[in-house]
Chains A and B, each alone.
Chain A
């Protein structure tokens, strides 16, 4: 089972990297980064299944990671919005 989810994480991260490099719009790039983050979280949580039982440390890391990912997304979106807005103001005064 853990092998299946590790493979899924690998495929998702490959897909996300493909999307990240092929993206033409910045919004799509943010989506790709979020998918990449989800894939890495999936790998971490899959690796948390050990012989000795569930390891809570990767779970805590992923919880903090989700919150950091949403902060990064908000900051990046705000930057994109400001960039396009100032562009608009210059083009039609």
Chain B
């Protein structure tokens, strides 16, 4: 039963006026499920990325429906939800990694600092240098540790000379908290590291090109708790300089590292809000069911 009507859709021009959007909520729980509604405040005061009415289709399958949300500068935003809910799909829209899938079609708008990243005159090479990515499975290149980190700066021509590159590699590894472990083995293959170290190497590789946003697709799902703790610590430190978007299956992880959390369900953005609020006082029935472990 539809207990109330919520107008949560944000028109594109609404993005320019973030204060105008406050989704009305009653004290009663919302029990119905209508994909056109997103509960919670989707806007932030200082948006780094701005997504409006994003739809993703794989051939005929409508994988993501009318997702609108803002990603604030220097925040960690977590996407949670059951498998197949579209959270990874949405993440991959943010640096156009979905372009590699031939059958994938995307509508709507995603802006990075006010520029539509799906605009014709935006080059994906430049976009991906600005929006870095860390994948679910650690995927270092089968090259040396040094070469892994040096790759990005090298292809983008960011440094002049070997000394500068050395410095950048050192600094990136230090920021990723890996320098102590690899200092003496820079020439060994990146694949010789342990899983957690590999993932931190991938993070070092991503931050070596000094991106503005870092997307992380379940970065700890293949790691043990100790390695996970290290990565989470790192995410918290990185927030100072970068905007981070993290997809995770672990609700504890989302609660630990993020400031805002978005809950996706079957291709819809169901609810978004401050992480504390989502985990202590979810407004939507589906969110509550999910975080209390009733499904997913």
| Chain A partners chain B | no
Instruction: Name B's A-contacting residues (CB within 8 A).
Output: none
